[in-house]
Structure formats: structure tokens, C-alpha cells
Amino acid sequence: MSPADSNSLSLRYRPRRLRRTSALREMVRETHLSANDLIYPMFVTEGENQKVEVASMPGCYRFSLDLLLAEIADVYQLGIQAIALFPVVPESKKDETGTESYNRDGLVQRTVAAIKQEVPDITVITDIALDPFTSHGHDGLLGEDGTILNDPTVEVLAKMAVSQAAAGADMVAPSDMMDGRIGAIRESLDAAGYTNVGILAYSAKYASAYYGPFRDALDSAPKSGDKKTYQMDPANSREALKEVMLDIEEGADMVMVKPALPYLDIIRLVSDATDVPVAAYNVSGEYAMIKAAGQMGWIDEKKVILETLTSIKRAGADLILTYFAKEVALMLK
């Protein structure tokens, strides 16, 4: 440092002192991103030798099981310790009540079993909700008048959870937003002997327009209506705490806020109010926006990705579900 710095203001505190060198900045850095924080959402489809890019999610693919296994082995090597699995279900297997969801020989169940054979140490988290399996595309059973039937849906979700646990899932992640499903799933898992299978609850899940690309990936957009009678109103925050507290009382091991970036305030609220790990889902629309701007050359994509995920952690998330997981693990190497 040059003593000739001609600072004329008489300041006791100069916050810039701690930003002067890279070593100083690293010493005082509060938030660190690591591959251990990341959960990689992945799409599995029927067939063999399939790797089809999702048009609205460049860099994300629907993999057939054979290629998915190779990809999972790869990302595990890169330090990613957990994946969240989502199935692309053919129209022919969808029905009004989503019966395929608890088929012991269904795509999810076969995939989980194969992953546990090939890459046994990676944590496999399976999604619980009916939307990939129902012909109408809703997360629950549809009544005659078009309303979503809560309690009958919960019964199906509990069966789905047990079938996934039987296949070898380490954790199940209910993303449906029905009331009382965490308690019912915990009871069913325990009754079937799966006391060690954890529950990651999508607790504060909002009725968000940011899920569009994901619904493209799975062909799962609702055929009629929207999800506002079960997913939360984006305008609300106290309700998020209520949902989180109920899920924890009912037995959730971890809770989630979703989406992440437009809900950083909710992540902070939840992480201040709870003593369980908090996950945040950096969803498909958040991914697509960064990818699109990056492809246009309008932003420095890699830097924006790291800044975005760091901000989600800084807001209080312990874990981040993100389609950037592989890219970030490579950057952190």
C-alpha cells in the first residue's frame, strides 16, 4: 500500500480497507457456495439411448435410464451428493387418478432402484405429486365440479411415497401442497417399516408463473384451470410460516421455499423461524431467464449464476435445488 495515498478526509472507519485485496475479501466472506449445497433436479424418460434437450431449458435433458445412470455417475464424481428425480410419463400411462404414480414397476420406481445399484451413495430424492401422472395435469384428484379433493389425494400420495421408499428412495419430497400430507406420508412410511426415509417438504410453494419450462419438460401443464387453490398466493408471507410450522409438526425433516429468487424474503423468514434445514428451489423459469440472457450475450452468464446461487444461500437456504448444479460443480472444481 502506498503511504502516499492522499486521503484528505479524516475517517476512522473506511469499509474499503477490507475489500482491498482478494485475500482480505476471502477472509471476510460470509457466504460460501459448495457442491454439497446443491441438489440436481433430473428428468427421466422411457426408452433407451435418449438424451433430448428441453427447448425452454438449454443444457437440461430428458434422459432414458441408461444414459441417466452414466450422467449421475458423472455428477457424483463432480461432488454433487443429491439428485431430485422427475419422470416424463407417456400420455398412455396417465389417467384421471394418477394410478401409475404408485406402480411398483413404474418409471420412477425402476429408476430409483437402478441408481441405488449403480451409484449407491448418491442421495436420491423423489417427488410426490400427481401432476406427471394425471390426464388433467393437476397435482391432486379432481372432483366432479373441478375442485381438487384434498383428503382422497393424500391417500394416493401416501401410497406413492411407500412405493418410492420400497424402490430405495432416500428421501421423498411432497410438492403437491395438499393439507395434512406430511403427517399421512410419515405414518404410512413408518407403518411400512421405512422409518429411515426422510421427508423434504415443499412447504412454501407458490402458484408461480416461473414453473413454465418445467411443465414443458414433463408435458404436465394443467389442461384446465390453475393451481391457485393449492399453491400459495405470491402476495403472502405469513402463510408461508404457517405452512412450514404445520409441516414440521407433522414430521418434515427439511422444508422448502419455492421458487427461490422472487422469494428471498420468505427464505429469510423461514430460516430465522425454524431449526430444520431449509432448501430453496431455483426453478425452471429462473434457470431459463439466465440461460436466455446468457445466450443473447446480454449478461456474463457464469458470474450471474454464481451470484444468484450465493444470494439464495445468503438469504438463509442451506440447500439449493438448481438446474445449474452440474455447471456450478464444474466451476467450483
Which residue from 100, 131, 243, 250 is in contact with ligand PBG, where contact means CB under 6 A?
A: 131
Could you give the residue ranges of the DSSP H alpha helices within 168-237?
Answer: 181-191, 212-218
Contact 294, 301 (CB under 8 A): yes
Query: Nearer to ligand PBG by C-beta: 215 or 302?
Result: 215
Give the binding range for ligand PBG (CB under 6 A) out of 10-18, 102-110, 127-135, 292-300.
127-135
Contact 169, 124 (CB under 8 A): yes
- Confirm whether 258 is a catalytic residue: yes
Q: How many CB atoms lie within 10 A of CB 262?
A: 15
Query: Nearer to ligand PBG by C-beta: 131 or 170?
Result: 131
The verdict on 127 binding ligand PBG (CB under 6 A) reads yes
Contact 212, 292 (CB under 8 A): no
Give the binding range for ligand PBG (CB under 6 A) out of 7-15, 98-106, 126-134, 312-320.
126-134
Q: Which of 94, 205, 227, 313 is catalytic?
A: 205
**How is residue 94 written as a grid cell?**
396417465
Query: Nearer to ligand PBG by C-beta: 215 or 268?
Result: 215
The verdict on 283 binding ligand PBG (CB under 6 A) reads yes
Residue 269, exposed/middle/buried by CB under 10 A (0-12, 13-18, 19+)? buried
The SS3 of residue 107 is: helix
297 Rama class: left (phi>0) / alpha (psi -120 to 50) / beta: left
Residue 34, exposed/middle/buried by CB under 10 A (0-12, 13-18, 19+)? exposed
The verdict on 211 binding ligand PBG (CB under 6 A) reads yes
Give the binding range for ligand PBG (CB under 6 A) out of 25-33, 67-75, 141-149, 209-217.
209-217
**Phi, psi dihedrals of residue 315, rounded to the nearest 5°:** -70, -15
Query: Nearer to ligand PBG by C-beta: 94 or 227?
Result: 227
The verdict on 108 binding ligand PBG (CB under 6 A) reads no
Inter-CA distances, 211 with 72, 126, 284, Å: 24, 18, 6
Q: Is 243 annotated as a binding residue?
A: yes
Provide the terminal-to-terminal Cα distance of the chain, rounded to the nearest Å.
32
Give the binding range for ligand PBG (CB under 6 A) out of 8-16, 159-167, 208-216, 325-333.
208-216
Binding mask 43-82 for ligand PBG (x = CB under 6 A): ----------------------------------------
Place of cell 436420491: 124
Give the whole-angstrom CA distance, residue 299 versus residue 326.
20
Binding to ligand PBG in span 146-185, by CB under 6 A: 175-176
Give the shortest CB-214-to-ligand PBG separation in angstroms.
Answer: 3
Query: Nearer to ligand PBG by C-beta: 194 or 324?
Result: 324
Show Cβ contacts of residue 117 under 8 Å, excluding neighbours closer than 6 positions. Answer: none
Strand partners, 322: 282
Give the shortest CB-282-to-ligand PBG separation in angstroms.
Answer: 8
The verdict on 247 binding ligand PBG (CB under 6 A) reads no
- Confirm whether 51 is a catalytic residue: no
What residue numbers does the annotated binding site for Mg(2+) cover?
A: 243
What residue numbers does the annotated binding site cover?
A: 243
**Active site (catalytic) residues:** 205, 258
What is the binding site for ligand PBG (CB under 6 A)?
A: 127, 129, 131, 139, 175-176, 211, 214-215, 227, 283-284
